[in-house]
Amino acid sequence: MSVVAAKGFRAAGVWAAIKGSGKPDLTLIVSDYPASAAGVFSANRFRGTDVELDVARLRATGGRARAIVATSGYANTLTGAGGRRDALAIGRAAARMLKIPEREMLVSSTGAIGYRLPVPRVIRGLRKAVRSLAATKEAGAAAARGIMTTDTHPKLAEAKFADGGSVFTVGGIAKGVGMVAPSMATILVYLTTDARIAPPVLRRALVEACADTLNAITVDGQMSTNDTAIILANGAAARRPLSAAGVRRFTAALHEVCAALAHSLVADGEGATRLIRVTVTGARTAREAALAARSVADSALVKTMFYGRQANWGRIAQALGASGARFDPLEVRVRVGGFPAIRGGCLVKPRFELFSRLAESEVPVEIDLGAGRGRASVLTCDLTERYVRINAGYLS
C-alpha cells in the first residue's frame, strides 16, 4: 500500500493533461495530522525550482509539512522567475484546497528540463486529485504511477516495526530509471510513517537510510537536477515519541524501504536487462572504496560488457585504475559471478560455467583492492541499445 500504508495518510494519482498520453501525471500525498518532515535533495548546481522551494520551506518551518504535490512530464528546471511563480501558484492552490498552511505544502516536478508547467491544467488536476484522495491500495498505486516518466511500472515498498507495544509502518514510492547517479538521495522518493519523530531525528534517520541504498545506485552516471527524497512522520499510530530503541528500529525499517525502492529503480533502468552489484573491499578508506565502486559501476564499457555477456575483464581493470583509489595492481583480486577474473596483476581465463552465470538477472562483481579496510557497494545495470533509443527521443 506504499505511502498510504502508514495511518493518517491519503494519496491520489490523476491525469492533469500535462502529458498527452492520458496516463497519470499528478500525485498528491496528504497527512491528516500535523507532521514532521525531512528531505534530501539534488547536489546538482542547476537544481530545480521546486527543489529550491522545498529546501526553503523545510528550513522556514523547522521541518514541518502536511502534503506533497508532484507532477511528471516537465521538470520546471531552467525556467527562471516564471518557473518559480508557477511552483508557488501550484503550491498555493493545493494548500487552499486542502485547507493547510501554504508553507507546509511541498512541491516536486520531474520530466523534460527547460519547460514550464501548464499551471491552469495542473490546478484543474489538483481539484480532481483532492476529490480522489484515499487510503486504499489502489490510491497508493495511482500515486506511484502519477510520478512516472520513463519507468515501466510503479515502485512501492513498506515495512513495519514495533516500539512500546505499538506497531508502526513506513511506506514509500519512487520513480526514476534514467539520469540516475545521485549524491544525496535520488530521483523522486516519497516516504511516510505513522510514528511520532522530531524533525532533527527524522532527518538523521533519512540521511543514514539513504547512504548505502538510494545514494548507492547508478543507471547512467548522470545526476538529475530534481533529485528529491522526502519523508513525513505524523504520529498517527501513537502520539508518544519513540524510545531510543524505537528510533533504531524505525531507521532499520526506513532503510529496508529505501533499499527495496533502490533495487526496483535500478532493475527498471532504461533498457536494462540485468543488475550488477559492484562491491569493493580492501580500500585505503571508505571514500576510495566508493570512488572505485562507482567508477566501475558507471563505466559504459563495463555495462555494455555485461549486456553482451562478455568476459572482457580489462574493462573492469581500466575503470578501477582511473578511479582515483590508491592500490597496488598486483594485490587486486576481482571475482565476477563468483568466478576469479583478475588476480596478481593478470586476467584469469574465464571458465565455461561463467557464461551461464552472466545470463542471470543479477551478477555480483567483488573487488578486493588489498590496500586497507575501506568498503563500499554500488548497484548498477547494463547498458543496451534501448537506453539509446529512449533517450534519443525523450522530450517528456
- Give residue 188's identity as a one-letter amino acid code: L
- For domain 2-267, the question of CATH label 3.60.70.12 is answered with yes
CATH superfamily of 275-392: ArgJ beta chain, C-terminal domain (3.10.20.340)
User: Where in the sequence numbering do the catalytic residues fall?
Assistant: 186
**Tens digits of residue pLDDT in 261-297:** 999 988 888 788 999 999 999 999 999 999 999 999 9
Q: Identify the band that residue 396 occupies on the pLDDT scale cut at 50, 70 and 90.
A: very low
Whether 316 and 342 have beta carbons less than 8 Å apart is answered as: yes
DSSP letter at 243? P
pLDDT at 186 over 70: no
Q: What percent of the chain is modeled with pLDDT above 70? A: 96
Between β-strands 105-112 and 346-347, what pairing exists: parallel, antiparallel or unpaired?
Answer: unpaired
CA separation for the pair 177, 220 (Å, rounded): 9
Of 178-182, 272-276, 309-313, 377-381, least confident by mean pLDDT is: 178-182
CA separation for the pair 70, 265 (Å, rounded): 18
Whether 145 and 13 have beta carbons less than 8 Å apart is answered as: yes
SS3 311: coil
pLDDT at 179 over 70: no
Note the helical H segments in 268-344: 286-298, 300-307, 314-321
Q: Which three cell numbers, joined as nine digits, stand for 232?
A: 513525513
CA separation for the pair 172, 194 (Å, rounded): 12
CA separation for the pair 221, 179 (Å, rounded): 7
DSSP collapsed to 3 states, 27-78: EEEEECCCCEEEEEECCCCCCCHHHHHHHHHHHHHCCECCEEEEEEEECCCC
Bigger pLDDT: 228 vs 387: 228
- DSSP string for 65-101: -SEEEEEEEE---S-HHHHHHHHHHHHHHHHHHHTS-
Count of beta carbons in the 10 Å neighbourhood of residue 165: 6
Please report, for the chain, the start and end positions of each structural domain, with discontinuous segments joined by +: 2-267, 275-392
Looking up cell 519513540 gives 242
Bigger pLDDT: 180 vs 230: 230
**Tens digits of residue pLDDT in 29-74:** 999 999 999 999 988 888 889 999 999 999 999 999 999 999 999 9
The whole-model pTM stands at: 0.91
CA separation for the pair 72, 248 (Å, rounded): 34
Q: Rounded mean pLDDT of 300-327?
A: 94
Whether 174 and 187 have beta carbons less than 8 Å apart is answered as: yes
Q: Identify the band that residue 184 occupies on the pLDDT scale cut at 50, 70 and 90.
A: low
Question: Where is 205: in which H helix or E strand?
Answer: helix 199-211
Q: Identify the band that residue 393 occupies on the pLDDT scale cut at 50, 70 and 90.
A: low
N residues, the chain: 396
Of 148-152, 262-266, 299-303, 314-318, least confident by mean pLDDT is: 148-152
Bigger pLDDT: 258 vs 221: 258
pLDDT at 112 over 90: no
Highest-pLDDT range among 145-149, 202-206, 265-269: 202-206
Q: Identify the band that residue 227 occupies on the pLDDT scale cut at 50, 70 and 90.
A: confident
Whether 364 and 248 have beta carbons less than 8 Å apart is answered as: no
User: Rounded to the nearest 5°, which phi and psi values hold at 347?
Assistant: -75, 145
Bigger pLDDT: 111 vs 32: 32
**Tens digits of residue pLDDT in 321-370:** 999 999 999 999 999 999 999 999 999 988 888 888 888 999 999 999 99
CA separation for the pair 364, 350 (Å, rounded): 15
- CA–CA–CA angle 73, 273, 177 (5° rounding): 25
Terminal CA-CA length for the chain: 28
